[in-house]
Amino acid sequence: MDNTNIITITDLTRIFKNKTGWFSPTEEVTALNNVSLKIKRGTIFGLLGQNGAGKSTTIKILTTLLLPTSGNVLIDDLDVTKDYKEIRKKINFIFGGEQGVYKRLTPLDNLIYFGNLYKVNTHTLKKRIPELLNQVDLYDVKDRLVENFSKGMIERLQIAKGLINSPSILFMDEPTIGLDALSVRKIHGLIKNLNDHGTTIVLTTHYLKEVEELCSSVAIINKGNLVAKGTPDEIIEKYATKGNDLESAYISIIKGDS
Ligand SMILES: Nc1ncnc2c1ncn2[C@@H]1O[C@H](COP(=O)(O)OP(=O)(O)OP(=O)(O)O)[C@@H](O)[C@H]1O
Ligand SMILES: [Mg+2]
């Protein structure tokens, strides 16, 4: 495996300015505070933390949807603030929980639409779309309206959508939220398969078993600060108190930091 860093985050800070009321002063929320992190090419990387920790903010910055307040982010040596057009060709993202696909369209029409949006040429799309539909087990329902689909089917369609431009990095924000055990297993199979074929995956999740199952490296953020990073085994070794699992380590990290 190529061992270089595909993502380098240096001193990343993101501050949101919220208006608390019509006449009230603006309140500043530091969603990310001086975070530095490296993600190796070809890995499945997990970003963990409590609700509001700053995970989605990180994903949005890495996917060029949100600008940093300060600091520096390189994706494959390209800068998120300057080279976003180039970066967008190489990446894709999936936000869990039924967002991001058109429910009044069929899976086929969704994929044609997003394929065109990513400027994938028609010849490639004609080959790629049936392959993707098969890969996510939706070929047989490709002509049905998405509005009647289950959460698991929609999540699998999101994955097909996320692969429409053959990205080298796929970002997934809570990809298995609200899914049943069998649907989760299918999604995990897809993620592993993609990774086996060389795609770097960066995901956020609240499910620590999912992290143990999938991720070779993790980072834990708490209230915008990076508080731990390493392989799941390293983190367990260093922080687990009761039991020998990531959940125990995670809880002691978060409790120790608050
Ligand atoms: N667009 C925004 N405007 C103002 N504040 C925001 C915005 N987006 C996020 N925040 C704030 O930034 C902080 C981090 O939010 P973020 O969504 O990154 O957390 P998260 O780790 O993804 O949480 P969750 O697990 O609940 O998804 C929170 O305090 C949140 O309220
Ligand atoms: Mg989030």
Residue 19 has pLDDT above 80, yes or no: no
Residue among 13, 20, 55 whose CB has most ligand 1 atoms within 8 A, to mutate: 55
Q: What percent of the chain is predicted at pLDDT more than 70?
A: 98
55 located within any domain: yes
Count of structural domains, the chain: 1
CA 109 to centroid of ligand 1, rounded, Å: 32
Residue 178 has pLDDT above 90, yes or no: no
Quote the tokens at residue 182. Answer: 């069998």
Pairing relation of β-strands 44-48 and 91-95?
A: unpaired
pLDDT of residue 242: 80
Strand partners, 155: none
Q: Which ligand is nearest to the CA of 15?
A: 1
Residue 1 has pLDDT above 60, yes or no: no
Quote the domain boundaries for residue 251. 39-64+78-257
Cβ of 55 closer than 6 Å to ligand 1, yes or no, is: yes
Cα distance between residue 252 and residue 240, in whole Å: 7
What are the distances in angstroms from CA 205 to CA 8, 47, 50, 91, 103? 21, 7, 10, 19, 25
Q: What is the pLDDT of residues 37-87, one digit of tens each?
A: 999 999 999 999 999 999 999 999 999 999 999 999 999 999 999 999 999
Q: Tell me which residue has tokens 């380098």.
A: 8
Q: Which ligand is nearest to the CA of 16?
A: 1
Radius of gyration over every alpha carbon of the chain, rounded to an integer in angstroms? 19
If pLDDT is split at 50, 70 and 90, which confidence band does 157 have? very high
21 located within any domain: no
CA 16 to centroid of ligand 2, rounded, Å: 15
The pair phi, psi for residue 199, each rounded to 5°, is -75, 130
Cα distance between residue 126 and residue 78, in whole Å: 30
What average pLDDT score do residues 222-235 get?
96
CA 98 to centroid of ligand 2, rounded, Å: 14
What average pLDDT score do residues 1-27 get?
85
5 located within any domain: no
Q: Is residue 154 classed as helix, strand or coil in its secondary structure?
A: helix
15 located within any domain: no
22 located within any domain: no
CATH number assigned to the domain comprising residue 157: 3.40.50.300
Residue 2 has pLDDT above 70, yes or no: no
CB atoms within 10 A of CB 125: 18
- Mean residue pLDDT across the chain: 93
Residue 120 has pLDDT above 60, yes or no: yes
103 located within any domain: yes
Q: Which residue has better confidence, 245 or 32?
A: 32
Q: Which ligand is nearest to the CA of 61?
A: 1
134 located within any domain: yes
pLDDT of residue 70: 98
Residue 88 has pLDDT above 70, yes or no: yes
What are the distances in angstroms from CA 127 to CA 15, 133, 160, 247? 43, 11, 13, 43
pLDDT of residue 98: 66
14 located within any domain: no
Minimum mean pLDDT among 13-27, 28-42, 43-57, 84-98: which range?
13-27
